[in-house]
Amino acid sequence: MATAFLRTILLYAVLIVGIRVMGKRQIGELEPVELVLMLLISDLAVVPMQDFGIPLLNGVVPIVTLLSLSMLLSFFSMRSVRFHRLICGNPTTLIENGVIRQDALRRNRFTLDELLEELRAQGVTDLETVKYAVLETNGQLSVLLRPEEAPATPKQLGRSVRDDVWLPAILVNDGRVLGHALRDRGLDGAWLDRTLRARGFHSAREVLLLTIDGAGKVLCVGKEDRR
Amino acid sequence: MKYFLIPAAVLALLLGAALRSASAVSGAAEPWRAALAEAADAAEREDWDGAARLVRDTRADWDAHRALLHIVTAHDELEAADALFIAAESFAAERDAAEFRAAAAQLDAQLRIVAEVQALTLRNLL
């Protein structure tokens, strides 16, 4: 049991480090190469976790090898568009100006039902309103509506808008003060104390979330059980 | 460039370690198999003390390599070899020539398998 416990922790750590090294994209939308990697890795990790007769290295070595190969493929894909197309394929236009490209559907083994389902998922019920529907290499369908069907932007309407979109910085997270975030904003402990007292809090431990955006707007949410 | 160098270095390291472990196991197995052949010859000559000593020494050297073998080889293969070492030792002690010859031959085959499984050969690849 202890072996299983420790092996599981070790393999889990190897997988987490590997996935972190692969980058964020790996977690969400998978390219064909990445999907194969995930399928293989998940299987490789399970076998030595459960079978103590197999050396742990028999699981770790293939996993590290696959992750390294995947990193090399990513490197060469970034370097060469041709290589990237060879490995990941090309995006395919399935609908152009409201017309379904049936040959493209057949080539990608994408059924009409699947196409309509994807369109409905994106709020499109009328094919005529679609300018382009592109099947991306990660299997997602990107839908671009005709200009007259798409929501108008202020720019299209000739209106000027004030830029009031700011990324808020978290200063207190579940009672913990994030010192580096305070310093990044040019703030200090004294400012934090004043801000908390002004909102009826005695210390950061009583605060669930405290953020400040680029315009200086503060959001403060107290913990429910602070009293 | 580090996105190329790091994975390339890891792959080179793994390949190097795999080749090194294969060579270590096969390098260790050769003298074991030679000693077993010598023990079989000694048994033929009715030199049972010599045969028993050779098997005992070989087993001691096998045990000295146990950590490496446990890390790189399927444990079933090692347990099978362990059982055959014990059998060979006991048949040598009993001076049972036929059983000793059979156990020594099986042990030799088992040690060959342990070494061969690690080797980077086309047969293993396929």
* Cβ-proximal residues to B91 (8 Å cutoff; 6+ apart), any chain: B99, B100, B103
Look up the pTM and report it: 0.71
State yes or no: pLDDT of A25 exceeds 60: no
CATH number of A169-222: 3.30.240.20
Would you say residue B25 lies in a domain?
Answer: no
Q: With an 8 Å Cβ cutoff, is B3 touching chain A?
A: yes
**B88 neighbors B53 (Cβ within 8 angstroms):** no
State yes or no: pLDDT of B32 exceeds 90: yes
Domain count, chain B: 1
Give the pLDDT of residue B56. 94
Enumerate residues 59 to 78 of chain B having a beta carbon within 8 A of any beta carbon in chain A: 70-76
Q: Which tokens sit at B73?
A: 């080889």
Q: Give B118→chain A minimum CA distance, Å.
A: 12
Burial per residue of A158-182, b for 16 or more beta-carbon CB atoms within 10 angstroms, e otherwise: eeeeeeeeeeebebbeeeebeeebb
Give the pLDDT of residue A43. 85
Kindly list the residues from chain A whose CB atom is less than 8 angstroms away from the CB atom of residue B4. Answer: 72, 75
* Cβ-proximal residues to A52 (8 Å cutoff; 6+ apart), any chain: A3, A4, A7, B75
Domains A92-145 and A169-222 share a fold: yes
Q: What is the pLDDT of residues A41-80, one digit of tens each?
A: 888 888 888 788 888 888 888 888 888 888 888 898 888 8
Domain residue limits, chain A: 2-86, 92-145, 169-222
Would you say residue B74 lies in a domain?
Answer: yes
**What distance, in Å, lies between the first and last C-alpha atoms of chain B?**
34
Give the pLDDT of residue A29. 65
Q: With an 8 Å Cβ cutoff, is B18 touching chain A?
A: yes
Would you say residue B6 lies in a domain?
Answer: no
> Which of A10, A71, A73, A77 to mutate against chain B (most B CBs within 10 Å)?
A71
Give A95's strand partners.
A100, A133
Give the pLDDT of residue A26. 47
CB nearest B4 (choices: A61, A67, A75): A75
Domain coverage including residue B86: 30-125
H-run or E-run covering A170: strand A169-173
* pLDDT (mean) for A118-145: 92
Q: With an 8 Å Cβ cutoff, is A55 touching chain B?
A: yes
CATH of A92-145, picked from 3.30.240.20, 3.60.20.40, 1.10.645.10, 1.10.260.30, is: 3.30.240.20
Percent above pLDDT 70 for chain A = 91
Would you say residue B61 lies in a domain?
Answer: yes
**What distance, in Å, lies between the first and last C-alpha atoms of chain A?**
44
Kindly list the residues from chain A whose CB atom is less than 8 angstroms away from the CB atom of residue B70. Answer: 55
Q: Which tokens sit at A102?
A: 């049936």
Give the pLDDT of residue A124. 93
**B117 band by pLDDT with thresholds 50, 70 and 90:** confident
